[in-house]
Structures are given as structure tokens and as C-alpha cells.
Amino acid sequence: MPKVTIDGQTVEYEQGKLPYAEHGKPESLLDICLHFGIHLEHACGGNNACTTCHVIVREGLDNLSEMDDDEADRLDMAPGLTRRSRLGCQCVVQGDVVVEIPTWNRNYVSEGGGSMNLGNAIPASKH
């Protein structure tokens, strides 16, 4: 039963049992956050077309799916990139993880900068 802690809030769930809400990959960090009502910005709807779901993994980096080239290319554009950065919509949780939302992103959202409308700039979901 994976335990996910994001900015101090912890949730546990049975792997493979969450109803997929079509935001990011199934059981991605974003999918889990949205299921449990934890806010993680996702301006492109989880389509790997922005970097607003950027998180920094403090513990459990090996408990996330391996980063593919598409995520790596997109992540390169993220402000405040670290060696422990991932995109919440692309990393699938496979065990316990502790992550934090970068301060710049938290501030951006709290100041009303989140949930921008990108209109037709969003590519169709690959799912």
C-alpha cells in the first residue's frame, strides 16, 4: 500500500485500485493528488505540455516509474530544475514517496497564476 506525502500531507491507497481520472498517467502523482483533493497545478491537464506539475522528490525516487524521453525533454524547461525533479503527471507511483512542490510554483498558484487556459495549444492525450 503506497504512502504518498506531498508538502506534509500523507495519503495511502491500494495500488491499482484508484479510479483513473484522466489527468496524467494512471496512478501518476498528479492522478493520486487529484483523487485525494490535494492541489497540484496541472495547466495542460496532465499532457506533458507544461511544467506546472513540477515536484521535487525528497524520498523514494526509486519508487517512481523511470523517466522517459518525453518527460525529460519537458522537464528541461522547468524553472528551478533539480536532480530530484519530476513531472507529477508523468511519474507513476510504485511505492512510498515524499515530494514537495517547489516554492516558486506554490507562490505562483497562491497568487492566482494557476490553471491558465492554454486552449488549442494542448496536444491530445496519448491515453
Can you give the binding site for ligand FES, defined by CB under 6 A?
42-44, 46, 48-53, 74, 87-89
Least separation in angstroms between residue 99's CB and ligand FES is 13
CA–CA separation, 15 vs 18, rounded Å? Answer: 7
Rounded to 5 degrees, φ, ψ at 42 are -160, 70
Chain centroid to CA 119: how far? 20
14 or 66: whose CB is closer to ligand FES? 66
Least separation in angstroms between residue 119's CB and ligand FES is 14
42 or 98: whose CB is closer to ligand FES? 42
Q: Please, are residues 29 and 40 in contact by the beta-carbon 8 Å criterion?
A: yes
